[in-house]
Amino acid sequence: MQLHGSFQDLRQRDALITIYMQHAKSLFDELATAGRPLSLEDFNLYIFHGLRGEFKNLVTSLVTKTEPLSYADLHSHLFTREFLHKSSLPSLVANPPLLILPNSSTALILAVTEVVPMVANTPTATGTTTMRGLIFMALIPLLP
Protein backbone atom coordinates (compact mmCIF):
# COMPACT_ATOMS: atom_id res chain seq x y z
CA MET A 1 0.00 0.00 0.00
CA GLN A 2 2.84 2.37 0.86
CA LEU A 3 4.43 1.91 -2.60
CA HIS A 4 1.12 2.56 -4.34
CA GLY A 5 0.67 5.67 -2.20
CA SER A 6 4.18 6.83 -3.14
CA PHE A 7 3.26 6.47 -6.80
CA GLN A 8 0.08 8.48 -6.33
CA ASP A 9 2.04 11.25 -4.59
CA LEU A 10 4.84 11.27 -7.20
CA ARG A 11 5.46 14.80 -8.53
CA GLN A 12 8.26 16.17 -10.68
CA ARG A 13 8.43 19.57 -8.95
CA ASP A 14 11.85 21.08 -9.77
CA ALA A 15 13.60 17.77 -10.56
CA LEU A 16 15.08 17.12 -13.98
CA ILE A 17 13.07 14.62 -16.02
CA THR A 18 15.79 11.95 -15.75
CA ILE A 19 15.75 12.11 -11.93
CA TYR A 20 11.95 12.05 -11.89
CA MET A 21 11.83 9.05 -14.22
CA GLN A 22 14.51 7.17 -12.27
CA HIS A 23 12.53 7.64 -9.05
CA ALA A 24 9.34 6.42 -10.76
CA LYS A 25 11.19 3.42 -12.22
CA SER A 26 12.54 2.45 -8.80
CA LEU A 27 8.99 2.51 -7.38
CA PHE A 28 7.78 0.48 -10.38
CA ASP A 29 10.53 -2.12 -9.79
CA GLU A 30 9.83 -2.27 -6.04
CA LEU A 31 6.14 -2.97 -6.71
CA ALA A 32 7.07 -5.78 -9.11
CA THR A 33 9.48 -7.26 -6.55
CA ALA A 34 6.73 -7.11 -3.91
CA GLY A 35 4.51 -9.18 -6.21
CA ARG A 36 2.22 -6.26 -7.09
CA PRO A 37 3.39 -5.24 -10.57
CA LEU A 38 1.96 -2.10 -12.10
CA SER A 39 0.83 -2.20 -15.73
CA LEU A 40 2.79 -0.09 -18.21
CA GLU A 41 -0.39 1.88 -18.94
CA ASP A 42 -0.81 2.75 -15.24
CA PHE A 43 2.89 3.61 -14.98
CA ASN A 44 2.52 6.08 -17.87
CA LEU A 45 -0.58 7.63 -16.28
CA TYR A 46 1.21 8.16 -12.95
CA ILE A 47 4.15 9.75 -14.79
CA PHE A 48 1.84 12.05 -16.77
CA HIS A 49 -0.07 13.06 -13.65
CA GLY A 50 3.07 14.17 -11.81
CA LEU A 51 4.66 16.21 -14.59
CA ARG A 52 5.02 19.99 -14.50
CA GLY A 53 2.72 22.08 -16.68
CA GLU A 54 5.29 22.56 -19.45
CA PHE A 55 4.79 18.89 -20.43
CA LYS A 56 0.98 18.94 -20.70
CA ASN A 57 0.92 19.54 -24.49
CA LEU A 58 3.22 16.57 -25.01
CA VAL A 59 1.13 14.42 -22.66
CA THR A 60 -1.96 15.23 -24.71
CA SER A 61 -0.34 13.74 -27.81
CA LEU A 62 1.18 10.75 -25.98
CA VAL A 63 -2.08 9.57 -24.40
CA THR A 64 -3.65 9.20 -27.84
CA LYS A 65 -1.28 6.32 -28.72
CA THR A 66 -2.95 2.92 -28.86
CA GLU A 67 -0.15 1.16 -26.93
CA PRO A 68 1.46 2.45 -23.72
CA LEU A 69 5.01 3.72 -24.13
CA SER A 70 7.95 1.77 -22.79
CA TYR A 71 10.06 3.39 -20.07
CA ALA A 72 12.84 4.16 -22.58
CA ASP A 73 10.47 5.71 -25.14
CA LEU A 74 8.62 7.76 -22.53
CA HIS A 75 11.90 9.00 -21.05
CA SER A 76 13.19 9.92 -24.52
CA HIS A 77 10.07 11.97 -25.35
CA LEU A 78 10.10 13.77 -22.01
CA PHE A 79 13.86 14.41 -22.06
CA THR A 80 13.64 15.93 -25.55
CA ARG A 81 10.72 18.13 -24.46
CA GLU A 82 12.62 19.25 -21.38
CA PHE A 83 15.66 20.12 -23.46
CA LEU A 84 13.66 22.05 -26.03
CA HIS A 85 11.65 23.99 -23.45
CA LYS A 86 13.06 27.51 -23.30
CA SER A 87 13.11 27.78 -19.53
CA SER A 88 15.48 24.80 -19.24
CA LEU A 89 17.94 25.93 -21.94
CA PRO A 90 19.93 28.46 -19.85
CA SER A 91 20.56 25.93 -17.07
CA LEU A 92 21.62 23.26 -19.58
CA VAL A 93 24.08 25.63 -21.23
CA ALA A 94 25.55 26.62 -17.86
CA ASN A 95 25.62 22.99 -16.62
CA PRO A 96 25.78 20.63 -19.61
CA PRO A 97 24.43 17.14 -18.99
CA LEU A 98 26.95 14.37 -18.49
CA LEU A 99 27.10 11.16 -20.48
CA ILE A 100 28.78 8.29 -18.61
CA LEU A 101 30.11 5.46 -20.75
CA PRO A 102 31.44 2.43 -18.82
CA ASN A 103 34.62 0.72 -19.95
CA SER A 104 36.72 -2.08 -18.53
CA SER A 105 38.54 -0.11 -15.82
CA THR A 106 36.77 3.18 -15.06
CA ALA A 107 33.73 4.98 -16.40
CA LEU A 108 34.40 7.60 -19.05
CA ILE A 109 32.56 10.82 -18.26
CA LEU A 110 31.77 13.18 -21.12
CA ALA A 111 30.20 16.62 -21.15
CA VAL A 112 27.54 16.91 -23.82
CA THR A 113 28.19 20.20 -25.55
CA GLU A 114 25.45 20.04 -28.16
CA VAL A 115 22.27 17.98 -28.35
CA VAL A 116 20.03 18.08 -31.40
CA PRO A 117 16.88 16.04 -32.16
CA MET A 118 17.53 13.25 -34.64
CA VAL A 119 15.39 12.96 -37.75
CA ALA A 120 14.55 9.34 -38.57
CA ASN A 121 16.58 7.75 -41.37
CA THR A 122 18.94 10.72 -41.61
CA PRO A 123 22.65 9.86 -41.68
CA THR A 124 24.58 11.20 -38.70
CA ALA A 125 27.69 13.34 -39.06
CA THR A 126 31.09 11.72 -38.67
CA GLY A 127 32.06 11.33 -35.03
CA THR A 128 28.56 11.58 -33.57
CA THR A 129 26.78 9.00 -31.47
CA THR A 130 23.05 8.34 -31.71
CA MET A 131 21.38 7.48 -28.40
CA ARG A 132 17.61 7.13 -27.81
CA GLY A 133 16.63 9.38 -30.69
CA LEU A 134 19.14 12.15 -29.92
CA ILE A 135 22.51 12.95 -31.43
CA PHE A 136 25.21 13.84 -28.94
CA MET A 137 27.82 15.92 -30.73
CA ALA A 138 31.22 17.25 -29.74
CA LEU A 139 31.67 15.08 -26.68
CA ILE A 140 34.46 16.38 -24.45
CA PRO A 141 36.14 13.99 -21.99
CA LEU A 142 36.23 15.25 -18.40
CA LEU A 143 39.32 14.19 -16.47
CA PRO A 144 38.71 12.76 -12.98
Q: Give pLDDT tens digits for 91-113.
A: 555 555 555 444 444 444 444 44
The per-residue pLDDT for 83 is 85
Number of domains within the chain: 2
- CA distance readout (Å), 119 to 60, 88, 116: 22, 22, 9
Query: Residues in the chain with pLDDT < 70?
Result: 86-144
The residue segments making up the domain with residue 130 are 96-141
Strand partners, 134: 117, 131
The per-residue pLDDT for 88 is 45
The answer to whether the CB of 135 falls within 8 A of the CB of 111 is no
CA 15, 21, 23, 24 dihedral sign is: positive
Q: Are residues 45 and 112 in the same domain?
A: no
Q: Are residues 67 and 102 in the same domain?
A: no
Q: Give pLDDT tens digits for 120-132.
A: 444 444 444 444 4
Closest CA to 24 of 1, 58, 49, 57: 49
